[in-house]
Amino acid sequence: MTDHALRLLRQDRRLAELAAFPFGFDLGRAEHGHVEEVRLASGGPLDVVAGDDSGGTYFVCADGSVLYADSEGAAGIIGSSVDEALELVIGLPGWRDCTHLSPDDGEETILACVAETEDDIRECYGIDKERIELRAALGFPERSPVELVGRLRAALLRTEPDFVLLNAEEGCAYDRLVPAGPPLWEPVLAAGRADLARLRKGDPTAWREVADDPVRRRITLRAAQCDRSEDDLDLLRHLLRHDARSSMTDELRLAAVLVGLHGNTADLPLLAEVRETDCDTACGLGGVPGPGASAAELRQWAWELDDSMFGTDPSDEPFFTWTDLASDQGMTELARVALIRELDSIVMDRSRLRRPDAPHLLDTTPLVMLVQGFERLADLPQALRAQRLYAALQERAWDRVSARHTLARLEREAGRPAQAVTALAAVREALATPGDDSLRHWRRVNLGRFVAEEHYRLTLALADAGRPEEARALLAAADALLGELSENAAKGLREISGRTAARVREAGRGRARRVTGNGSLRAAPPPAPPRNPR
């Protein structure tokens, strides 16, 4: 659809007034923007086109889709164009009370809900004559509420993952206007299920292509984990042999387990060969029965690992299994949105981090995994959100230093040098007054070297950013840290130390220069001699 109707509203004041009241699509509110600064998680553009009297805002996205955001923190796509969104708000003036409906509810339920909503509206003001007039002027056909509800539902389900709205300052996601769609593992496994079906049919092209593609192998093995067949042994052997090339992964262990569950002792030499691929694989598959084991022993080993680590229910798999596999397949926005919503849930309810075996303690590992997931997606703002929370929850001095060191690195990489300087100041404070004995050896281990190195890297960034005074101050702190390190820990830092000092000196001299018109540097001219007094 085009935005023909929108142009008519902009040209005809009467039509614009009708759209604003009683249908809540007020072009005049566009100039005020939304109630807060927002952005799409995907980074796509947003243009405000209208608003309503409840503080809600209609945005147009890059592809023309219309995203509605209310003032309470919920948002969703309601049309593929402004015209489609207009047709919805005119045909279903109480559409926000219909977001829970779907075509599966049936015509009777939908019509009853719409009638009840519109009767409530009619108690306050008219909508029937106004709807007829506006529809006719804009060229909209009369559609049944059932059809409009179906369109609304389909549009709302398109919101994730490409049109998720974030609070621009805090980075948290707006709630859904419609219940969540399928679980993350469903779209992640879709390609693997298709490849598994082709392998089972004996498609020679699939056997070659899947075996040669490490990502497709991983997804196909996960599909085979959840959909097992007694006839899969040959294809599992095939995938196991090829997956061994990638060294130790969870999917390689899974392939070995799935082969072992068949209890065929002829596979013991293959399992032994895979185990000896490299040191990591030897450790990861250390419990594989030896060549003389019985079928029962092979099955028992595989069953125990399967029971503790895998199983057939994809919903039992760790959350990060599916976000990693989504990222591997290029499903960037799907992985990003899943990670953001997981972080939001922890921010809102930190009790989710409580350890089941010790509820008075927190397991902050999920936050580390979130940071790594966001870094993998090059989403530094979200990585910083997770790292700040992680750093705030650390109690041991060692953990505080390590967490704030990582925070400083992320702030630097995100182009936030002032915040990075603050993070490193907190690191030095913790080193000076740790409060426990966990840092007693920091001068002799990698932690000390990493901290000093980050000081030098940030100093270079400050010098490159034209902030020589701050660079000199941080260089002094870096050199002081380097002086405290043991000789062994300081190895490898001499080069960056010297390079940083030279760069800071150069930045200081640069203040005495001026930039020419073509951007090159030249020395500033000497001051003019004083004039002779008259």
Within 10 Å of residue 366's Cβ, how many Cβ atoms?
A: 19
- The whole-angstrom distance between residue 49's C-alpha and the CA centroid of its chain comes to 28
Which pLDDT belongs to residue 527?
45
Report d(CA 244, CA 249) in Å as an integer.
Answer: 9
Position 513 scores a pLDDT of 58
* pLDDT score, position 41: 97
- 359: left (phi > 0), else alpha (psi -120 to 50), else beta? alpha
Tens-digit pLDDT profile for residues 431-487: 999 999 999 999 999 999 999 999 999 999 999 999 999 999 999 999 999 999 999
Cα distances (Å, whole numbers) of residue 1 to 4, 6, 47, 90, 145: 9, 11, 18, 16, 19
* Residues 411 and 425: beta-carbon distance below 8 Å: no
Concatenated DSSP letters for 193-251?
HHHHHHHHTT-HHHHHHHHH-HHHHHHHHHHHHHS--GGGHHHHHHHHHHHGGG-S-HH
pLDDT for 520: 44
Residues of the chain under the 50 pLDDT cut: 1, 514-534
Q: What is the pLDDT of residue 521?
A: 41
Token pair recorded at residue 419? 């915040």
In the structure encoding, which two tokens stand for residue 373, read together? 């997931």
Alpha-carbon torsion, ordered 299, 301, 304, 310, to 10 deg: -80
Query: Chain-centre distance of CA 313, in angstroms?
Result: 24
pLDDT of 403 reads 98
